[in-house]
Structure 1
Amino acid sequence: MDVLDSRSKYNPQDLLEQRFISEVLREELQELDQRQTSLMSSRGFKTSDFYSERGFTVNDNVGTYTHPLELRFTDMKTRKTSTGKIKKKSHAVHNKPLYGMLNNIVFRLSVEYTQRMKSMLAQKYNIHL
């Protein structure tokens, strides 16, 4: 049996695993979005540009999170200019929630894919094992 034949065969276990990964990514990205929105509102972010240009998608088990470029720089404590280094107020609304989410994804993917989860996904998506 060559590799192409093995890839073309229907394997419900692989389908369940892909659905599980997609669900975990979608849930964690939604939680990141909510956490980041609450952090920004609590820290006084009033400009609608910070809120409107954010979003996420999950396609083929790849999560993509988009945000305005300026939001990335709000975490920085210093800024280099031609006159030297300037200290500024930092707001941990990008890195802290983002890396916290990545740790959650790794943990959930390594621990939550149990037989019980497989049967729940099979029932939800009508996949016969």
Structure 2
Amino acid sequence: MGLSEKRNRDVGIIEGLFIRKTLEDHAKTILEDTKRQMVGFTNRKWNKRGISVNDNTLVYSHISAFRFVDMKTVRAKSGYSIGSKKVRKGKIKKNFFPIHNTPIFSSKRFLIKRLSFGFTDEVKNSFEQLAKDSGLLNE
């Protein structure tokens, strides 16, 4: 193996460690944000959610009802918008709880910034040392 091939392999390992660590950090953040928003949800079915990180992929799994709890109703049948709070007598305005979109998309925005601009020389050196300590890189 030539010197350039070795350098490319080493950089790939270091970048992979950085990406994995960043995804794991954001996975914890997403679960904490979701849990904080779900204060009134006492049924056990709402706890069926999880996040896994494989290589450079973050997978968030949950029941499909999560998406529907987070949706706003656009219009009432009376024709008034929900923002005006005018709902026909006998109709109940649907409440929404930001347990899906808000944590996911706010974390996504910060994740993209961190992956794009967070791999500085200082971070690269710390992950290089971590890779050497764990035996992934040869001296």
TM-score with structure 1 length normalisation? 0.81
Q: Which of 22, 25, 36 lines up with 2:34 in the alignment?
A: 36
Gaps of 5+ in 1: none
1:69 equivalent in alignment to 2:64: yes
Q: What per-residue deviation string (whole Å, max 9, x for no partner) do you get for residues 49-85 of structure 1?
A: 111x1111111201001111111111112289xx999
Q: Show the counterpart of 1:109.
A: 115
Work out the CA distance in 1 between the residues paired with 2:118 and 2:66.
Answer: 32
Q: 1:65 to 1:128 in 2, by over 3 A?
A: same
Q: Which of 91, 96, 119 lines up with 2:97 in the alignment?
A: 91
Q: What per-residue deviation string (whole Å, max 9, x for no partner) do you get for residues 88-115 of structure 1?
A: 1111111011000110110101111011
Greater C-alpha radius of gyration: 2
- Give the fraction of aligned pairs with identical amino acids, expressed as a percent: 27
Contact 1:122 1:128 in 2 (8 A): no
Work out the CA distance in 2 between the residues paired with 1:79 and 1:14.
Answer: 47
Q: 1:84 to 1:66 in 2, by over 3 A?
A: farther
Work out the CA distance in 2 between the residues paired with 1:70 and 1:84.
Answer: 26
Q: State the 4+ residue runs in structure 1 displaced beyond 3 angstroms.
A: 83-87
Gaps of 5+ in 2: 80-90
Contact 1:39 1:93 in 2 (8 A): yes
SS of the residue corresponding to residue 35 of structure 1 reads: helix
1:12 equivalent in alignment to 2:7: no
Which runs of structure 2 are paired with 1:117-128 in the superposition (5 Å)? 117-126=123-132, 127-128=137-138
Name the amino acid aligned to 2:25.
E
Contact 1:74 1:91 in 2 (8 A): yes
SS of the residue corresponding to residue 78 of structure 1 reads: coil
Work out the CA distance in 2 between the residues paired with 1:119 and 1:128.
Answer: 15
1:59 equivalent in alignment to 2:54: yes
Contact 1:79 1:88 in 2 (8 A): no
TM-score with structure 2 length normalisation? 0.75
Q: Which of 43, 49, 53 lines up with 1:47 in the alignment?
A: 43
